[in-house]
Amino acid sequence: EVQLVESGGGLVQPGGSLRLSCAASGFTFSTYAINWVRQAPGKGLEWVSAVSGNGGRTYYADSVKGRFTISRDNSKNTLYLQMNSLRAEDTAIYYCAVMMNYYFDHWGQGTLVTVSS
Amino acid sequence: IVMTQSPATLSVSPGERATLSCRASQSVSNYLAWYQQKPGQAPRLLFYGASTRATGIPVRFSGSGSGTEFTLTISSLQSEDFAVYYCQQSNNWPYTFGQGTKLEIK
């Protein structure tokens, strides 16, 4: 069974940093691209970032480019999102989601990030 | 690519049929997925490739369309189907979602 478990969320002040993690199990982690997708309170889904299976290619939404860095450690079956220069508008639940084809096949339960003073 | 869903809210009685629409601002071929999200839960993949059901999705759900126009149909609504539904295109980066359609009980 595919499992994705996010952690690292919390309350951070504007301008601060946070690192999210996503621990994966139940599939061959290094084979698939993994994504971060976020959802602001009461709002829709917004794709944030993706990394290829070997970590060689990364993609970012314009809203986070230059502030967020996605990475993965295939030896630990873990995905990361380093978030710097956080803004109030980054407040959201952050989900990791694996793409086994071209779609978000499996999702974690999410971790809440709140940016507030 | 901008994905536009309609209507924003759809009120339907249990047992009736629901039809949800999704339009892309340019062709996405058939690289279109539908997701269901219930309150407090993560989204769940319903369809990919516009019309292929994901594992475990009941046959009362059907997906259709290609290019820029797509439809999700639920033939006879069950209580567990009331949720928010999102479409998403995977034809071009950045992969984008529609704003969602909330399916509520009438």
The shortest C-alpha distance from B104 to chain A (Å) reads 16
Look at strands B9-12 and B101-105 and give their pairing. parallel
Per-residue confidence in pLDDT tens, chain A, 117 aa: 999 999 999 999 999 999 999 999 999 999 999 999 999 999 999 999 999 999 999 999 999 999 999 999 999 999 999 999 999 999 999 999 999 888 999 999 999 999 999
Q: How many CB atoms lie within 10 A of CB A87?
A: 13
Distance CA A23, CA A26 (A): 11
Tokens of B87: 């479409």
Q: Is B1 in the A-facing interface, judged by CB distances under 8 Å?
A: no
Question: What would the pLDDT profile of B22-64 be if each residue is shown by its tens digit?
Answer: 999 999 999 999 999 999 999 999 999 999 999 999 999 999 9
Among partner residues B33, B42, B93, which is closest to A110 by beta-carbon distance?
B42
DSSP string, A94-107: EEEEEESSSSEEEE
Among A76, A74, A79, residue whose Cα is nearest residue A96: A79
B42:A108 CB<8 A: yes
Check if the beta carbon of residue B69 is closer than 8 Å to that of residue B87.
no
Distance CA B74, CA B12 (A): 11
Tokens of A104: 């978000």
Find how far residue B4's CA is from the centre of its chain. 11
Strand order in the sheet with B18-24: B3-6, B18-24, B69-74, B61-66
Check if the beta carbon of residue B14 is closer than 8 Å to that of residue B79.
yes
